[in-house]
Structure 1
Amino acid sequence: MKFGKVEHPELVDFTLPKTHQKTIDVLKPYKKAGTPNVYVGCAKWNKTDLKGFYPRGIKDELEYYAKQFNSIELNATFYRQFPAEQFEKWKAKTPDNFKFFPKLTQEISHWKRLEGVQEVVNYYLDCAVHLEEKLGTFFLQLHSNFSPKNFDKIENFAKSWPTEIPLAIEVRHPDWFSDAVIFEEYTELLREYNIANVLVDTAGRRDMVHMCLTSNEAFIRYVGANHTSDYTRLDDWITRLKEWNTLGLQNIHFFIHQNLEVESPLLASYFIKKLNHELNINLKIPNQDNTNQQMTLL
């Protein structure tokens, strides 16, 4: 994932901002929530990106991936519509506790820019719901030039989205974050419709680590910089997620990317191991003992 990539990550201040007051308000009713539901995964499962992750001889990458992780940020659905049969095949290849978090197709977000998309959305949902119990939160990522002047388009989309289907939205244009009034209006809209406000932790866009949750779901897209700071950044996230769980956070969905995706499973293993300890959970730590694995945990 190249979004937010910088040439010198060692010059970036990766300090996480303080928890937004709206997050505290949103989580307050759930303060005694207890152990959270935690899903951690990568964005892709193919060998081309995750070099060194798969043992030699693995024929079905998804089957192996799903035995190591409990979720996937399904980016493949961004690039084209898949028929119901494909979602059924993906479902059949994964264990009972696995979840897919599908990205809405670019036809909806980028080409039509949320206008006149009801038919496309309906078809997409009719196919994707064949994942059944393995369906996680849908994810809408808007183009970086989709600015606040398009607020009404997001509002109309939020109103028309089925309330029983979980949704997360990521906006990228800087004006959504730089103007306090706009940010308040936008996050209040998401809160009203119980839509998760995506957090993106990437080196070149620190404004997108806004720490403002709008539902009882932390949907976090973490982008490492292929730098040693990637690990201390994950340590900071573990501290923050523990804090939010204490405040009442029930659902943690954390997806790990890299500028060079080859190291994503390694970072995930590091993160899961520490998260298990801090939150008293028992997620499987992805296998790092493959004979072709050249990386070791720090």
Structure 2
Amino acid sequence: MIHIGLTGLGDHPDVYQSSSSAKEKLKDYSMHFPIVELDASFYAIQPERNICKWIDETPETFQFIVKAYQGMTGHLRGKSPYDSPEEMFNQFKLSIGPLRDAGKLAMILMQFPPWFDCKKENVDELRSIRRHLEGYDIAIEFRHQSWYAGELREKSLAFLRDLDFIHTIADEPQDGDGSVPLVAVSTSEEKAFVRLHGRNVGGWRNRTGDSEAWRKVRYLYNYSDAELEEIRTVIGGLDSSTEDVYVIFNNNSGGHAAENAKRLQKLMGIDFHALAPKQLDIFEGE
């Protein structure tokens, strides 16, 4: 089964009803898509009340891909609010516990920074993460090319398979060492994960040092029909060998993600069922 959705709860004005308040955005979103990537969890481990609210606002079959807290993937700058890695991981597990109990946790996404390269220290870190999160479905997204260089590519994929990790298949601008190739290989028979960042090569580079401005253009991209056809072929290949394929559009900067996702859905002839009821689908013609 193929599941298509977007990154973030509040970045997609095209799917919100004009009369909706900020608190109703997730309800509106769940009228259109069966999954969402929860990115608030990257910036802070979420309190249980937030998680329970999101569970109550979505249909029974709705699924969340939870992005791991930044302290768990080496992104955190400054002092950690937790006394130890054990405390941090335990708090994260407590936070997502209600999602797991409700059957709404699709997977945990662990996206590593560009400096997380293929070396023994980082391989050991992945082993440690598996011990901390034993029994959870975990998607690993590499952002350093060394994991895919030469013979290391097959070794990296085999390593993910051995630790029961889901390999995140990323579509992103190809900018030398600053990006990873699209490697359409699933390391799990149950779940495959495709994450679409767009192909804005110019925006992918941070030449000015202005990180805030860079974030605004990094994911500024509108996929063409031809590019979505390429992605459809990739997804079709994964669907033939994997039980569930999760597809997330992360090209949010210009508001293209929702329309692109709807276009891909139409291209693939997919009709999502058990969504929240809606009065009007703004993406469909009369």
Task: Structure 1: state its 5+ residue gaps.
Answer: 1-35
Letter in 2 for 1:91: I
2:50 matches 1:57: no
1:97 aligned partner: 61
1:261 is displaced (CA, Å) by 4.3
Letter in 2 for 1:252: V
CA distance in 2, matches of 1:228, 1:104: 27
2:135 matches 1:176: no
Task: Structure 2: state its 5+ residue gaps.
Answer: 78-83, 200-219
CA distance in 2, matches of 1:183, 1:251: 23
TM-score by length of 1: 0.75
Identity value in percent: 22
CA distance in 2, matches of 1:235, 1:136: 25
CA distance in 2, matches of 1:222, 1:260: 13
1:1-298 aligned at under 5 Å gives the runs: 36=1, 38-46=2-10, 49-59=11-21, 60-111=24-75, 117-131=85-99, 132-149=102-119, 150-163=122-135, 165-178=136-149, 180-204=150-174, 207-216=180-189, 217-225=191-199, 229-246=223-240, 248-258=241-251, 260-275=253-268, 277=269, 281-283=270-272
Change in Cα spacing, 1:86 to 1:239, as seen in structure 2 (3 Å) is same
Residues 266 and 288 in structure 1, CA contact (< 8 A), matched pair in contact too: no
Change in Cα spacing, 1:158 to 1:112, as seen in structure 2 (3 Å) is farther
User: Which region of structure 1 is more displaced relative to structure 2, 186-195 or 61-70?
Assistant: 186-195
**RMSD over aligned Cα, in angstroms?**
2.8
By relative contact order (CA 8 Å, sep 6+), the higher-ranking structure is: 1
CA distance in 1, matches of 2:57, 2:279: 22
Change in Cα spacing, 1:227 to 1:139, as seen in structure 2 (3 Å) is closer
Change in Cα spacing, 1:112 to 1:269, as seen in structure 2 (3 Å) is closer
TM-score by length of 2: 0.78
1:67 is displaced (CA, Å) by 1.6
Change in Cα spacing, 1:95 to 1:261, as seen in structure 2 (3 Å) is farther
1:215 is displaced (CA, Å) by 0.8
